[in-house]
Structure 1
Amino acid sequence: MKEELTRRDFLRRSGAAAAGAGLAAGVGPMVSTRSAAAGVASPDERLGIGLIGCGGRGQRMMRMALRTRQADCVAVCDVQQEDMDEAATFVRKRSGKAPQAIGDFRKLLELKEVDAVIIATPDHWHAIQTIMACQAGKDVYIEKPISHNIAEGLAMVKAVRDNKRIVQVGLMQRSGKDFQDAINYVHSGKLGKIGLVRAWFIKKRENMGHPPDGEPPPGLDWDLWLGPAPKRPFNPARFKVKEAATGTMYGSWRWFWDYAGGQLCDWGPHMVDVVRWGLKAGMPLSATAAGGNFVIDDCRECPDTLQVLYEFPGTTVVWEHRQWSDRSIEPGRYHGVEFYGDKGSLFVDRTGWEVFPEEGGEKAGNPGEVGKEKNMDEEHIADFIEAVKARKDPVMPIEEGFMTTATCQLGNIAFRSGHKVLWDDEKKTIPNDPEAMKYFSRTYRDPYKLPV
Structure 2
Amino acid sequence: MSAEITRRKFLATTATTAAAIAAASEASAFAPQAEPIRVGLIGCGGIMSSHVRRIVARGLPVEFTHLCDVDDHQPERRGIAKAISGFQKQEPQRTRNFEEVLEDKTVQAVIVATPHHQHAPIALPAMQAGKDIYLEKPGSHVFSEGPLYIAAAKKYNVVFQHGSQMRSSPVTESAGELLASGIIGEVKMTKAWNCQNREVRKPVADAKPPAGVDYDRWLGPAPERPFNENRFHQYWRVFRDYGNGDIGDDGIHDIDMARWGLGVTKHPNRITAHGSTIAKQGDRDYPDNMMVAFHYDDGKVLLYEDRLFTPYGYRGFDSGNTFYGTEGYMIFSRRGYYQVYLGAKEKEGPTVPREIRGGAGRGYDEHMDNFLKCVRTRETASCTPEIAHLSCSLVHLGEIAFRAQDVINFDPATETIQDNPAATKLLTKTYRAPYGLPDTI
TM-score normalised by L of structure 1: 0.85
What is the CA deviation profile of residues 263-298 of structure 1, one whole-angstrom value per residue up to 9, with x for unaligned ones? 001112111111111222122222100012222110
In structure 2, do the counterparts of structure 1 residues 163 and 436 end up closer, same or farther at CA, with 3 Å as the change threshold? same
Matches within 5 A, 1:287-302: 287-302=271-286
Match of 1:56 among 46, 53, 58: 46
Q: Which amino acid aligns with 1:290?
A: H
Matched, 1:269 2:252: yes
In structure 2, do the counterparts of structure 1 residues 394 and 373 end up closer, same or farther at CA, with 3 Å as the change threshold? closer
What SS does the corresponding residue of 1:320 show, helix, strand or coil? strand
Q: Is the 8 A contact 1:355 1:363 kept in 2?
A: yes
4+ runs of 1 displaced by more than 6 Å? 369-373
Partner of 2:161: 168
In structure 2, do the counterparts of structure 1 residues 311 and 90 end up closer, same or farther at CA, with 3 Å as the change threshold? same
Partner of 2:25: none
Structure 2: distance between partners of 1:378 and 1:372: 8
Matches within 5 A, 1:37-116: 44-66=34-56, 67=58, 69-85=60-76, 86-116=79-109
1:70: Cα distance to partner? 2.3
Q: Is the 8 A contact 2:196 2:311 kept in 1?
A: yes
In structure 2, do the counterparts of structure 1 residues 321 and 373 end up closer, same or farther at CA, with 3 Å as the change threshold? farther
Matched, 1:352 2:345: no
Match of 2:177 among 164, 174, 184: 184
Match of 2:397 among 397, 406, 410: 410
Match of 2:243 among 252, 260, 266: 260
1:68: Cα distance to partner? 5.1
Q: Which amino acid aligns with 1:261?
A: N
Structure 1: distance between partners of 2:53 and 2:314: 34
In structure 2, do the counterparts of structure 1 residues 325 and 97 end up closer, same or farther at CA, with 3 Å as the change threshold? same
Q: Which amino acid aligns with 1:258?
A: D
Q: Is the 8 A contact 2:30 2:60 kept in 1?
A: no
Matched, 1:449 2:440: no
Match of 1:305 among 289, 292, 313: 289
In structure 2, do the counterparts of structure 1 residues 264 and 140 end up closer, same or farther at CA, with 3 Å as the change threshold? same
Unaligned runs of 5+ in 1: 6-40, 241-250
Match of 1:194 among 187, 191, 195: 187
Structure 2: distance between partners of 1:118 and 1:436: 33
Structure 1: distance between partners of 2:358 and 2:108: 37
Unaligned runs of 5+ in 2: 6-28
Partner of 2:415: 428
What SS does the corresponding residue of 2:120 show, helix, strand or coil? helix
Partner of 1:126: 119
Q: State the number of aligned residues.
A: 405
Q: Which amino acid aligns with 1:388?
A: V
1:3: Cα distance to partner? 6.2
Matched, 1:397 2:398: no
RMSD value, Cα: 2.1
What SS does the corresponding residue of 1:150 show, helix, strand or coil? coil
Partner of 1:333: 317
Structure 1: distance between partners of 2:311 and 2:268: 29
Structure 2: distance between partners of 1:264 and 1:444: 22
In structure 2, do the counterparts of structure 1 residues 379 and 201 end up closer, same or farther at CA, with 3 Å as the change threshold? same
In structure 2, do the counterparts of structure 1 residues 371 and 114 end up closer, same or farther at CA, with 3 Å as the change threshold? closer
Partner of 2:140: 147
What is the CA deviation profile of residues 206-241 of structure 1, one whole-angstrom value per residue up to 9, with x for unaligned ones? 12111111112221111100000000011111113x
Q: Which amino acid aligns with 1:379?
A: E
In structure 2, do the counterparts of structure 1 residues 234 and 142 end up closer, same or farther at CA, with 3 Å as the change threshold? same
Matched, 1:219 2:209: no
Moved more, 129-138 or 347-356: 347-356
Q: Which amino acid aligns with 2:309?
A: W
Structure 2: distance between partners of 1:370 and 1:161: 36
Structure 1: distance between partners of 2:270 and 2:220: 32
What is the CA deviation profile of residues 364-401 of structure 1, one whole-angstrom value per residue up to 9, with x for unaligned ones? 23343877873421111110011111111111111101
